[in-house]
Structure 1
């Protein structure tokens, strides 16, 4: 049997393991059960693919989405791993079963729904199973943000094969969720390997919404490369996609209500693209194994910090610089609290804690990454140098007095009006509505002026975020449970004022920032090969591999094969084509 290092080089084309990969592989090869918590882009799939090549038998990969399985199948096949999927979308079921029984598969992908059936269990008795890999393992936990009941039915299947190692993998699990995964999948606590949650290549930005469409249009203009924009409703995806279209970028919409053929085509085209923007609901993402997404934007508040971490983690899986930008509004928190009131009473404390954690993330004047990582139990440095607050520290002021004025105006106008009317009263504006209701005679009329006037809207957002103000069923502001303490001076309202936004020139965050013409020629050759093979360009080679080619300019196959990311199978399949491009560029 080849050593793990030899397989890593010859099959995957990598000179060495990254992070905790070697620790995980060693446990699997030693026949020990393991839970690996590794950030997206840390190479989780290699942790079961490499043992699948090394060990006798077939690794059974349990994965939640068909699209994700098919993406991983393409990538595995491209490097010479014998792999197949067993899903409702496959028309080669008989061939796959025959290959499995004959011991001709290294990897067999299936969904938990199929794996928990008696028929699948009988199938596994017909051949040698080398490993169970449970992908997206946080789905097994009711404490997780993406619970799937079928995952909780896996334990009997795993226990029927007690001598087969099991490897659970996830990028998003806090301490409570990790403990639950260990119990539900029968993994001993000493089998827990946590690689850390930091994604240092992602730059985090969080901004109050002020004309969302324009804000996102500006972001799209500034950020080259593929991107995902998450919105909260189906209708909003199509509306925003239409607004962003026609500005030099391909833009598509994705949501569960689209015709299945349209949805599948949009996803296929996005995966194959080098610059498309997908405007989507959260139905889009988990099934996407696309490494070169350069930015992820949220046009509204995600469900939780765990969901935010997972969704932003779809950017920069290739390790290249990427951006995550969240645009939020006070109404997001109002709606979230309303939804919490509609869930079962026993779940409400946990949901409130999740919302409070999101509030701390958007409201902080300190390091965003620090809050994210502390949520997952880490103790990071005070600053990261790669989030909006670290790069451009905001001003922080005590806005308690302005908040008390705002709350007084809400109370004296009868807790029936929105932010605009309250602002008009405080500024002393004699609008028609103010005059009709006699609010110009109130003691709060005109008590805010000068620079304090600029604080009214941020204060209104802060009061709604803190649940000092709520929106009534008629759309007016009314007191929430935290209002009394602020009015009585028992609680302060500190306000973070984001720096004024300057119109930035388009950043050269492209795949080819130094404009190397050889790199562009290599990308063009990759594009042609990808179209001919009907696979996404990144399945051929990642941009980082092409950049290394352009820098080293190898003159023979042996030198080309020493470049990171070029294993034996890819060298055989594509080496001559890329070498031809390099030599032609050199005039040889």
Structure 2
């Protein structure tokens, strides 16, 4: 299989002209039949890495996913793009499961999503062996490791895949895994020699902010008040907390709901559907349960409580801005949160409790940090950067720095001479020349850097050490009892003269004033991107989604609408160049959005550019049939019928009864009495026992609207 086929599929099915970094390399690895471990941040394009091979290779790609709701969303999105996809999990009845299994066996599916329970069940293996599987994709692969943040025991039973399907490539994918978790994933899946792809974890479109935990509800109300109609998630620690906060928001006139594991499946489905379809913009959810959503236009995420580790935090903020548009994240922090989480971990986690407490401590250090928060996150996942991001609360109000190179050299030299075998507290004691018994028993008083930092108080040393840790100059080996290790960056400081700026605290007053000024600037920037045309396109997207019974983001993402509002495409060729507009979506929806843009900019601005509807109308008036128009314009017949329906609605001279009989119109119109507005084509189709095709229902609805 060659890469041009992959490039064509990327544009045809997903509407993108170019692959993101690493995607093409990963796809080539799949084509070569080799295994891979892929680390990409949420929204970074992991799914493309297996979806493109799935639509270009013979057979079916089997995708293992732990979240039923996420499977449903992904399958809906793929079908909207013209991909043959289905899922198998406990939400399906026996007859539906059998139908999907038949499709899988007969080679009618390009992708099949399965739960880990289904994959590892006894009755599924014989079917797997008989069907043609092109690749296995293990999504959320961190779930396989007990070192990870969302361990699922059923994931550990997937070792059989490499034994039973030696020649089938396995692609393990995750957004969050530290070094320890990565090693465990490869061991658990029996992947002896995989290629490891670690993409940049940087999400520059996400702003990062930590706020004091006092008066959280009042702060949240003000925050949401500045962002009307935007979708957001508030993660809370307890079920009761989600319910109380949702009630508080509702009392303030905000459309909000809560979501946690204590609700019935029907209740959870209803809440999630309302959120996905933009009917409920704000959801308060438990961190432990997770929402498993694939909604691209979540504009903000708030953590009401401190998460238990950085992996969880990073994955949860990754729910925002999956479409690449600017989005905000806020973390509320107080010491009480840390104490509460420590109690929970000690009570509930008998296994590896020390490591989990150490990871919680890193989360606390992140919240208390005085340096660029993005650099800290990237460093945690092993990604080096020396540039501050400019899009976090620290960068917007930078504290004063000093030249800390000498301090850093003393600390790193001490760790080196201690043979990287001590933790932070003991290393500081050695630097300060402590007379503790343990130091003399180990002979550490004899190393050259013993006492080299006795002029710096212990707490200040701790402050500097945490900065060195956060910036990636040192790291903690959790699986070696928390000892400090040097990194490539530390060697540059010790041997190549790299400078290290270290931070002193700015005053609270300076910070507050700078943050106020920055908040005003951000509000102005946001308003510039979201103009009147964007809002019109958003409302059009919502209307089309309601008619078709799909979530709005399935039609187009916020990022795609922003580009449309900026570029203002008025022909099919121009619309095709918009990122996120593939062939199928152009045929299904392009004309609606082109017409809305032309109507918005007015005749003067669109002069010289023919409306796609007008071209269809001119051809129709010249006597061309629907099939002839579709062939000449390289459109689907469904799109042409849609053009004619819209033209008829707007009063153009279209002989509707050439396209749909009076009897069919009558049946459709009568069915509306028994259906709820807004009328969806699917509902009418099913009510009429699937006897009248969709394009005729669309024409009949146009007749009803014009008559009204």
Q: Normalising by structure 2, report the TM-score.
A: 0.66
Q: Which residue matches 1:471? A: none
Counterpart Cα distance in 2 of 1:264 and 1:497: 47
* Structure 1, gaps ≥5 residues long: 398-461, 466-493
Counterpart Cα distance in 2 of 1:565 and 1:316: 15
Cα gap change, 1:516 to 1:310, in 2 (>3 Å)? closer
Q: Which residue matches 1:411? A: none
User: Could you tell me which of 543, 563, 578 is aligned with 1:563?
Assistant: 578
Cα gap change, 1:123 to 1:181, in 2 (>3 Å)? same
Q: Which residue matches 2:307? A: 302
Return 182-191 or 532-541, whichever deviates more: 182-191
- Asked if 1:69 corresponds to 2:71, the answer is yes
Q: Which residue matches 1:412? A: none
* 3-state SS, counterpart of residue 86 of structure 2: strand
Counterpart Cα distance in 2 of 1:295 and 1:519: 18
Aligned residue pairs, count: 494
Q: Please tell me whether the aligned partners of residues 285 and 314 of structure 1 are also in contact (alpha carbons under 8 angstroms).
A: no
Q: Which residue matches 2:512? A: 500
- Asked if 1:264 corresponds to 2:274, the answer is no
Cα gap change, 1:77 to 1:283, in 2 (>3 Å)? farther
Cα gap change, 1:556 to 1:367, in 2 (>3 Å)? closer
Q: Which residue matches 1:126? A: 130
Counterpart Cα distance in 2 of 1:192 and 1:257: 38
Return 505-514 or 204-213, whichever deviates more: 505-514
Counterpart Cα distance in 1 of 2:246 and 2:572: 45
Cα gap change, 1:195 to 1:213, in 2 (>3 Å)? same
Coordinate RMSD, CA, aligned: 2.5
- Asked if 1:196 corresponds to 2:224, the answer is no
User: Could you tell me which of 536, 552, 561 is aligned with 1:521?
Assistant: 536
**Offset, 1:123:** 1.0
Q: Please tell me whether the aligned partners of residues 66 and 87 of structure 1 are also in contact (alpha carbons under 8 angstroms).
A: yes
Which is greater in Rg?
Answer: 2
**Offset, 1:44:** 0.7
User: Could you tell me which of 280, 283, 289 is aligned with 1:278?
Assistant: 283
Counterpart Cα distance in 2 of 1:312 and 1:509: 23
Once the two structures are superposed, what CA deviation does each residue of 1:127-171 show, in whole Å capped at 9, x if it has no partner?
210010100000001110111011110111342111111111100
Q: Please tell me whether the aligned partners of residues 35 and 191 of structure 1 are also in contact (alpha carbons under 8 angstroms).
A: yes
Q: Please tell me whether the aligned partners of residues 575 and 590 of structure 2 are also in contact (alpha carbons under 8 angstroms).
A: yes
Which structure ranks higher in relative contact order (CA pairs < 8 Å, sequence separation ≥ 6)? Answer: 1
User: Could you tell me which of 94, 110, 118 is aligned with 2:114?
Assistant: 110
Q: Which residue matches 1:287? A: 292
Q: Please tell me whether the aligned partners of residues 40 and 313 of structure 1 are also in contact (alpha carbons under 8 angstroms).
A: yes
Cα gap change, 1:551 to 1:347, in 2 (>3 Å)? closer
Q: Which residue matches 1:550? A: 565
Counterpart Cα distance in 2 of 1:29 and 1:229: 41
Matches within 5 A, 1:215-226: 215-224=219-228, 225-226=230-231
Q: Which residue matches 1:352? A: 357
Matches within 5 A, 1:91-110: 91=93, 92-110=96-114
**Offset, 1:511:** 7.3
Q: Please tell me whether the aligned partners of residues 367 and 390 of structure 1 are also in contact (alpha carbons under 8 angstroms).
A: yes
Q: Which has the higher helix share?
A: 2
Matches within 5 A, 1:122-201: 122-201=126-205
Q: Which residue matches 1:376? A: 381
- Asked if 1:580 corresponds to 2:582, the answer is no
Counterpart Cα distance in 2 of 1:357 and 1:514: 36
Matches within 5 A, 1:303-452: 303-342=308-347, 347-381=352-386, 383-394=388-399
* 3-state SS, counterpart of residue 352 of structure 2: helix
Counterpart Cα distance in 1 of 2:227 and 2:598: 32
Q: Which residue matches 2:656? A: none
**Offset, 1:579:** 2.6
Counterpart Cα distance in 2 of 1:7 and 1:567: 9
Q: Which residue matches 1:482? A: none
Once the two structures are superposed, what CA deviation does each residue of 1:217-261 show, in whole Å capped at 9, x if it has no partner?
122223341111111111111111111124453111111122432
Q: Please tell me whether the aligned partners of residues 274 and 280 of structure 2 are also in contact (alpha carbons under 8 angstroms).
A: no
Q: Which residue matches 2:30? A: 28
* 3-state SS, counterpart of residue 123 of structure 2: helix
**Offset, 1:571:** 1.5
User: Could you tell me which of 77, 86, 98 is aligned with 1:84?
Assistant: 86
Q: Normalising by structure 1, report the TM-score.
A: 0.79
Cα gap change, 1:514 to 1:166, in 2 (>3 Å)? closer
Cα gap change, 1:511 to 1:129, in 2 (>3 Å)? farther
Counterpart Cα distance in 1 of 2:566 and 2:373: 35
* 3-state SS, counterpart of residue 512 of structure 2: coil
Q: Please tell me whether the aligned partners of residues 512 and 520 of structure 1 are also in contact (alpha carbons under 8 angstroms).
A: no
Q: Which residue matches 1:455? A: none
Q: Please tell me whether the aligned partners of residues 363 and 496 of structure 1 are also in contact (alpha carbons under 8 angstroms).
A: no
* Structure 2, gaps ≥5 residues long: 403-462, 467-503, 604-610, 612-708
